[in-house]
Amino acid sequence: MAKVKKQPRPKAETPKGFRDYFGTEVSERSEMLSQIAGVYHHYGFDALESSAVETVEALGKFLPDVDRPNEGVFAWQEEEGDWLALRYDLTAPLARVYAQHRNDLPNPYRRYAMGPVWRNEKPGPGRYRQFYQCDADIVGAPSVAADSEICAMLADTLETVGIPRGDYIVRVNNRKVLNGVLETMGLADDTQRDAVLRTIDKFDKVGEAGVRELLGKGRLDASGAYIDGVGLTDDQAAPVVAFLTSRGDTAAATLANLRDAIGGSDVGAEGVNELETMAELFDAGGYGADQILIDPSVVRGLGYYTGPVFEAELTFEIFDEKGRKRQFGSVSGGGRYDDLVKRFTGQAVPATGVSIGVDRLLAALREKGRIGSNPLGPVVVTVMDRDRMADYQDMVTELRNNGIRSEVYLGNPKNFGNQLKYADKRNSPIAIIEGGDEKDQGIVQIKDLILGAQIAQNATLEEWKERPSQFTVPRDQMLAKVREILATHNGETQGA
């Protein structure tokens, strides 16, 4: 009889391009998203949780290099033949939801959504196949007052979560202005037009001189490699350069420069007028140029947006992996997309929205010291006698009923040292001890683990005697003593 081949054990490893999130990380994200949701709710937005799975047809082909149904997304084919996929953003599902339920939804419809999205792309440093997005959109409002409100809400959101004024700027532009510039250039060749758009998108990296070179014959990049240019003459390239460098000292000056850049283009003039309206609304709302700025260098999603575009950039400096100073950069972007719902309804439906990069914003808050301070874990009630679990459960219930995060040690209680090691690993502030002798005397031992660690690290023997970290109190005073110790740790909050 043939020997049965032993089934190999599965590898305990995270799939490539994915990661695991543990207690503190999850708590920090939940707290930040709760603060953001508070701002969105304050602005009149309603929450929406749409399905994580959509039909490939409903998602559409808005990711780069998507030539077949299962490329760019995680997709599979049902027995009936339909292709389904995990959502790659939160906007495409919104278009489907609105088209499906539009007769039951208010018009305009304000919604916000938060959750994971998935992209079947090559992972890299800091680039994962699953990540969180946090969106807010207004569907059914054609006026740029909707775009202005999104920008104002974005500024309020950043300040609410802990990015102070002066450390961020919301930059605003309009795709119609860019279309006007391209119209003025008179480019008939789509290939050349696309090359110009790609060059414009590099402005923040190569600057004015680099754009001039790339629009012309080409340039050497930082590695010394030569990049072929678009091949435009200086006269042909002039409107693009004028557009990208038209930001003035005031919004009025910027708008005047943009009117010069678009020449006689009607669509360009429409875009400048919309920016002018938005600038007036920002001013009326009390948002200065230190918060929201008209900036023609903002170019996003060239094939996706149809009107105003905007992004939030964090302006404070950080050090990169090589120790060089650089600005933190963008954490959010969005704009008007009036053609997305039309795919379902056949009729144009105006829409505008913004998406916040959750992981990047969390990283920014850590850089600013707003989160990541190693929050306290639960108070641990140790177990000295496993036959008296009811007594320990009574203690932990009293603590929990009074708002104190706590737990009974549920491991093997035989080795008391292991219980304290467990409490240390949980970053617990306090351990409560009640053995048989304490029970008979009606007392408990309360050990201040934080103070004990500080004394062990820094204090002399005399100082240790003067500052005891373990206290004996009557059982009925346990709650009061725990509160007192927690209060001495300067408001350190109990977290994950």
DSSP letters along 66-132, please?
A: --STTSBS-EEE-TTS-EEEE-SSSHHHHHHHHHHHTTTS-SSEEEEEEEEEE-BS--BTTB-SEEE
Report pLDDT for 65.
43
Tell me the C-alpha distance between 377 and 27, whole Å: 12
> Do the domain assignments include residue 5?
no
| 61: Cα separation from own chain's centroid | 24
Same domain membership, residue 183 and residue 218: yes
Residues 401 and 469 in one domain: yes
pLDDT band at 301 (very low <50, low <70, confident <90, very high): low
| CA angle (238, 241, 247) in 5-degree steps | 130
First to last CA, the chain: 55
Residue with tokens 């543990």, as numbered in its chain: 22
What CA–CA distance (Å, rounded) separates 251 from 267? 20
Residue 211, C-beta contacts closer than 8 angstroms, at least 6 positions apart: 199, 200, 202, 203, 240, 241, 244
Query: Do both 279 and 237 map to the same domain?
Result: yes
**pLDDT tens per residue across span 419-457:** 999 999 999 999 999 999 999 999 999 999 988 887 777
Give the CA distances from residue 18 to residues 50, 117, 241, in Å, rounded to whole numbers and listed in that order.
Answer: 22, 12, 41
Q: List the one residue out of 95, 106, 138, 109 whose CA is nearest residue 344.
A: 95
Q: According to the model, what pLDDT value does residue 98 have?
A: 95
Residue 24 has pLDDT above 90, yes or no: no
Residue 92 and residue 183 share a domain:
no
- Position 173 pLDDT exceeds 60: yes
Query: What does the alpha-carbon distance between residue 7 and residue 146 come to, in Å, rounded to a whole number?
Result: 59
User: Where does the pLDDT of residue 311 fall: very low under 50, low under 70, confident under 90, or very high at 90 and above?
Assistant: very high
The two beta strands, 83-86 and 53-55, are antiparallel
Task: Give the model's pLDDT for residue 465.
Answer: 55
Cα(275)–Cα(242) distance, integer angstroms: 17
For residue 230, what is the DSSP state?
Answer: -
What pLDDT is attached to residue 373? 63
CA distances from 352 to 140, 143, 144, 306, 338 (A): 9, 10, 9, 10, 7
pLDDT score of 329: 84
Write the pLDDT tens digit of every residue in 53-69.
999 888 876 554 444 44
Same domain (yes/no): 263, 345 = no
Flag whether 357 is in a domain.
Answer: yes
> In terms of pLDDT, which residue wins out, 495 or 88?
88
Residue 154: inside a domain, yes or no? no
Is 330 inside a domain boundary? Answer: no
Poorest-pLDDT segment among 107-116, 127-136, 298-307: 298-307
Report pLDDT for 221. 79
SS3 assignment, position 378: coil
Q: What is the pTM of this model?
A: 0.84
Would the pLDDT of 462 be above 70? Answer: no
Tell me the per-residue pLDDT of 349-377, one tens digit each, with 9 for 90 and over: 999 999 999 998 998 898 888 776 677 89
Q: What is the CATH number of the domain that holds 384?
A: 3.40.50.800
Low-confidence winner among 3-7, 236-240, 372-376 (lowest mean pLDDT): 372-376
How far is CA 8 from each of CA 5, 92, 222, 315, rounded to the nearest angstrom? 9, 41, 49, 52
* Helices 478-488, 389-401: crossing angle, 10 deg rounding: 50
Task: Give the residue numbers spanning the domain of 241.
Answer: 163-322
Examine the domain organization and report whether 433 and 395 are in the same domain: yes
Q: Say which residue, 118 or 125, is predicted with more confidence.
A: 118
If pLDDT is split at 50, 70 and 90, which confidence band does 165 have?
very high
Asked if 393 and 344 sit in the same domain, the reply is no
Q: Which residues lie below 8 Å from residue 160, measured CB to CB, with a gap of 6+?
A: 35, 36, 38, 39
What sign for the dihedral angle of Cα 156, 157, 159, 160?
positive
Give the pLDDT confidence score for residue 69 in this predicted structure.
Answer: 47
* Beta pairing, strands 379-381 & 430-433: parallel
Contact 335, 305 (CB under 8 A): yes
Same-domain status, 100 and 174: no
The helices-and-strands tally (H runs, E runs) of the chain is 18, 18
Cβ neighbours of residue 37 under 8 Å, at least 6 residues apart? Answer: 47, 112, 114
Question: What's the whole-number mean pLDDT along residues 180-185?
Answer: 85
Among the ranges given (26-40, 380-394, 480-494), the one the predictor scored with the smallest mean pLDDT:
480-494
Q: In this structure, is residue 108 part of a structural domain?
A: yes
Condensed to tens digits (0 to 9), the pLDDT of residues 204-219 reads 778 888 888 888 888 8
Instruction: Mark whether 129 and 251 lie in a shared domain.
Output: no
Distant-in-sequence, close-in-space partners of 317: CB < 8 Å, separation ≥ 6: 325, 326, 327, 328
What integer best gives the mean pLDDT of the chain? 87
**pLDDT value, residue 231:** 83
**306 close to 339: Cβ distance less than 8 angstroms:** yes
Torsion angles phi and psi, residue 352, rounded to 5? -150, 150
C-alpha closest to that of 343 among 82, 54, 134: 54
Per-residue pLDDT averaged across 80-100, rounded?
Answer: 92
Is the C-alpha dihedral spanning 283, 176, 334, 128 positive or negative?
A: negative
Tell me what percent of the residues of the chain surpass a pLDDT of 70.
91
> Could you tell me if 363 and 275 lie in one domain?
no
What percent of the chain shows pLDDT beyond 90? 56
Is residue 418 in some structural domain? yes
**Any idea what the CATH number is for the domain that residue 167 is in?**
3.30.930.10
pLDDT of res. 321: 63
pLDDT of amino acid 495: 44
How sure is the predictor about 467, in pLDDT bands with cuts at 50, 70 and 90? low
Regarding whether 462 and 344 lie in a shared domain, the answer is no
Give yes or no for residue 102 having a pLDDT over 80: yes
Q: Tell me the two tokens of residue 19.
A: 């990661």
Please state, in angstroms and as integers, the Cα–Cα distance from residue 343 to each residue in 64, 303, 340, 470, following that order. Answer: 18, 15, 6, 68
Angle among Cα 182, 188, 194 to the nearest 5 degrees reads 60
Residue 428 in any domain: the answer is yes
What does the pLDDT read at residue 182?
84
Q: Same domain, yes or no, for 313 and 447? A: no
How many domains does the chain contain in total? 3
Q: Is residue 329 part of a domain?
A: no
